[in-house]
Amino acid sequence: MAFDHGGTIYAAARQLGCHPSEILDLSASINPLGLSSAVRSACLAALEQVPHYPDPAAKRLTEALAAHFRVPVESVLAASGSTHLIHLLPQVVPGSRALIVAPAFSEYAHALTRHHWQVDYHLLSPDDGFRLELEPLVEELRRRQPQLLFLCNPANPSGTLYPSRQLRELLDRCAPTGTLLVLDEAFMDFCGEEHSAAAAVVQSGRGIVLRSLTKFYALAGLRLGCALAAPELAKRLGAALPPWEVNTMAQFAGVAALADHDYAAETRELVTDERDLLADTLARLPGITVFPSSANYLLLRLEAPRTAARLQEDLLATHRILVRDCSTFVGLDARFIRVAVRTRPENERLIEALGQEIQTAEGERSRHA
Ligand SMILES: Cc1ncc(COP(=O)(O)O)c(C=O)c1O
């Protein structure tokens, strides 16, 4: 299966002959504050426990997740990253047909096809800002009768946030076809829990919510996520996991991260302010369309003849900035890139580099005209 994700700093550093830390990674959308001091201390404390096996029940972490997401503890299943849960679903849920609201995270399709499911896409269009209309989606459910429906909120890569009221309605509309809604809320922490549909999904028994702690808490290298579902489904998924799924350091880090409310508030304030400023500034550059985003990344469309692949290459080679070429997303073409929202100096570095690249391209164009 092709690897088509952001965050490939090690390969980029090998290509450039530099250290990974010299690359400004905007291709994976990770909290720019990095590890909180509370998580750093928890990781150091966890080192002392490394000679022992992890708690196989991840009890403290599971209790902390249940309290944080306001669901019963029996509804929580911790895992080493939400990607592991995405790969578990087609093995545990009976069925063979899935529908994905796209453009979307590619692991849904990878996991499904690996387990011989048929994958169909419900495409949202950039031309109307990736608007989600329920009726056409429900019609597709009726026509295709999928056992699984994948939807990400806020959407990746568009950054669109669907109202939780719309998702609760979708949940109801999944009932006639018996479709299980897989609601991926990997970036929901950047929007705030008031936008989450987790409690409604868990209560309905007709869906599963995937949460990731890797983006908001900057734990991507540690691997930590969870599923929230009705207890029976959470138990079935859990039975399919190998023992000691979540390592000791990830368990300690998760508990410390969820308790750090100051870090969460600071992150949301920083990301909201910087995202709005970055979006405004980028929108003023010629040849770039910025899509409105509620997450910690922005999707950009480049005007022809600029391609995402060429811009990605130039930004890396000349500026050591890594952006996500989104041409591999089903439903997007060769002109889309995604950039993470970072700190002010890092965002300024991107703006400066993009400005230079656009000027160079303009120069080339007028020479050839
Ligand atoms: C939408 C979405 N869901 C899930 C994931 C997986 O996150 P993790 O496996 O790190 O928890 C990603 C990672 O990029 C993502 O973009």
Please tell me the distance from the alpha carbon of residue 171 to that of residue 180, in angstroms, as a whole number. 8
For residue 83, which atom of ligand 1 is closest to its CA? Answer: 9
In this predicted model, what pLDDT tens digit does every residue of 143-167 receive, in sequence order? 999 999 999 999 999 999 999 999 9
Between the CA of 82 and the centroid of ligand 1 the distance, in Å, is: 6
Ligand 1, CB cutoff 6 Å, lining residues? 81-83, 105, 152, 156, 184, 186, 212, 214, 220, 225
> For residues 177 and 359, which has the higher predicted lDDT (pLDDT)?
177
Please tell me the distance from the alpha carbon of residue 86 to that of residue 104, in angstroms, as a whole number. 13
**All structural domains of the chain:** 9-34+262-368 (3.90.1150.10), 37-259 (3.40.640.10)
Between the CA of 92 and the centroid of ligand 1 the distance, in Å, is: 20
Q: Is the dihedral of CA 88, 92, 95, 101 positive or negative?
A: negative
pLDDT over 80 (residue 332)? yes
Q: What is the pLDDT of residue 361?
A: 79
Q: What is the pLDDT of residue 1?
A: 62
**pLDDT bucket at 359, cuts 50 / 70 / 90:** confident
Please tell me the distance from the alpha carbon of residue 246 to that of residue 99, in angstroms, as a whole number. 29
Reported as type and span, the H/E element at residue 149 is strand 148-152
For residue 86, which atom of ligand 1 is closest to its CA? Answer: 4
pLDDT over 80 (residue 367)? no
Q: Is the dihedral of CA 145, 129, 278, 264 positive or negative?
A: negative
Between the CA of 365 and the centroid of ligand 1 the distance, in Å, is: 38
For residue 225, which atom of ligand 1 is closest to its CA? Answer: 11
Mean pLDDT in residue range 289-296 = 98
Whole-prediction pTM:
0.96
